[in-house]
Amino acid sequence: RQTLMWSATWPKDVQQLARDLCNEEPVHVTVGQSGHACHNIQQFVEVVEENVKAERLQALMRAVASASGGVWDAKTLIFTDTKRCADDITRVLRRDGWPALSIHGDKKQTERDWVLAEFKSGRMPIMIATDVASRGLDVKDVKYVINYDFPGTVEDYVHRIGRTGRAGAHGTAYSFFTVDKAKLAKPLIGILREAS
């Protein structure tokens, strides 16, 4: 029997899982640099207070849209930590005229499939998602990733921003970093330095 595993990161718990599943010591093959962000992704991190993130998101989106002629047609993934936050942001963005839909585990599979099809086609170029979309989702030409809620680990950060800058394309990641994630500052700085 042969067991193969692929991952953009190789955290200790995944290493242990590989050892548990294999009868022999697993062979580890690294393509590129394990656990590092793609060098095709321009990364911006803004330290913000929790209560101004919604305002900062709107300002960021207006600035990016203005730089591209006032129209938002670039595929954009906005990540949140909770389903409720994903729905709340989607409601606010749609109210203000942004072409946005949300996807998360509380939605029926048929709705998730429809949202994903609308996003992939570019008809709805802004998709707000929980981590259901951070791994295994391969959508061509995602230009922006926005971490509205910074993830709980730098491995999850690498996975999230890895939805852009794929297959030789260039992308941009914006992240709002709040004080409750302070323990991640040092490893995040390491990733940012390595990628620059």
Give the helix/strand (H/E) hosting 123.
none
Q: How many domains does the chain have?
A: 2
Are both 82 and 140 inside the same structural domain?
yes
Q: CA-CA distance, 57 to 72, in Å (whole number)?
A: 14
Which domain CATH number covers 163? 3.40.50.300
50-92 per-position pLDDT tens digit:
999 999 999 999 998 988 887 788 999 999 999 999 999 999 9
Are both 79 and 48 inside the same structural domain?
yes
What predicted TM-score, i.e. pTM, was given to this entire model? 0.81
Closest CA to 15 of 24, 3, 28, 4: 28
Are both 2 and 99 inside the same structural domain?
no
- Full domain range(s) for residue 19: 1-34
Q: CA-CA distance, 39 to 41, in Å (whole number)?
A: 5
